[in-house]
Amino acid sequence: MKARKTMLAVALASAAFSAVATEGAWEPVIGYGWSDYDDATPLDQDLDTRFLGLSYYATDELAFELLGSMHSTTVAGTSIGADVDTIALRGLYHISTSRPGIVPYWLLGVYGREYDADNGLDDSYGGFQLGAGLKAHFTENFAWRIELNHSRSTDDRSESQFWTGFSYAFGGGNKPAPAPEPEPVVEPAPTPAPAPTPVAPPAPKDDDKDGVVNSLDQCPDTPANAEVDDVGCAKKISIQLRVLFDTNSSNIKPETMADIDELVAFMTRYPQTNVVIEGHTSSDGADKYNQWLSERRAQSVAMAVVSKGIAAERVKAVGYGESRPVASNDTAEGRSLNRRVVAEIEEIVRK
């Protein structure tokens, strides 16, 4: 009955205090309990044990605790004195509850234990420890504590401890007061969304920037600044030269100089152009002679072009002999047409 009244008083007092230790706080503890060493030592009996420890709160929930326990007794069935001292380093994880001031926790840690008997049979060992406990706060700092833990050594010894005590926390930050409940906000009726603005279709693409869109452009790689026609192809201008020669002659006839002058004028107007002047012959005579003669004819026209101011590197002369006739060599008229020098230049019209 007395124990029930004590527990009730603790519960009533703790309900008034919702604040508990916070991050950065220190919490010493002192307690008293019982240790059951089972087969861990020759004591084989429950021992009254004193506890003393210190915790540090790394966060509001997690604390690290150094806890020592000690007692003196006798070896079971003898008068031989023995001391058992334990030191444990544990992590305590505190769990929030709906009851103010009531804080359960889990613990996990390591421990070392030393058994010292008067008969010289000393022993020491260590291992792991786990358990659970409860803190009930009388005030913001002062709490009653109860705990049960179980230990297992690395050489498979087991023991349990049950103890109770008192702790006092100090330091750490103050927990902020709970924020007031926000006043309900009356949401206004939603404004109808405006009609979406029509999106203009994307402009047609013109990759070569010639003014004709890709879908209509039949020449998609038109050079820059070139004039183009309706389907995007560059406008071109060209000139052709045709000079006829007498049989076995490479002399330019006076009446053909006007054609050469037109070629020179074209190349002067379009200085980026070059020309290849091709010489040909009829089939009269030997092949080697005709090849030589065709080259002579091409060179005669080329020299005439250069003499009128066109740079020599823009003019090239080649001879094809009788290999490229444009008419039959079986007639005099056909052979006359084959004794020729021709050239053609084509240039893109620029803007």
pTM: 0.44
Topology of domain 236-348 in CATH is: 60s Ribosomal Protein L30; Chain: A; (3.30.1330)
Per-residue confidence (pLDDT) for residue 94, from 0 to 100 = 93
Instruction: Note whether 25-171 and 236-348 share their fold.
Output: no
Q: How far apart are the first and last CA of the chain?
A: 113
Q: What is the pLDDT of residues 183-205, one digit of tens each?
A: 888 888 888 888 888 888 888 88
* pLDDT range class, residue 314, cuts 50, 70, 90: very high
Per-residue confidence (pLDDT) for residue 156, from 0 to 100 = 86
* pLDDT range class, residue 42, cuts 50, 70, 90: low
Q: Where are the domains of the chain?
A: 25-171, 236-348
Higher pLDDT, 281 or 30: 30
* pLDDT range class, residue 31, cuts 50, 70, 90: very high
Q: Which residue has the tokens 């930050």?
A: 173
Mean pLDDT confidence for 280-292? 89
> Quick one: residue 171, left, alpha or beta (phi over 0 = left, psi -120 to 50 = alpha)?
left
Q: What is the pLDDT of residues 123-167, one digit of tens each?
A: 888 999 999 999 999 998 999 999 999 999 898 888 888 999 999
Class of domain 25-171: mainly beta
Cα dihedral angle (301, 260, 334, 251), rounded to 10 degrees? -40
**Residue 169: is its pLDDT beyond 70?**
yes
* pLDDT range class, residue 38, cuts 50, 70, 90: low
Cα dihedral angle (248, 250, 254, 259), rounded to 10 degrees? 120
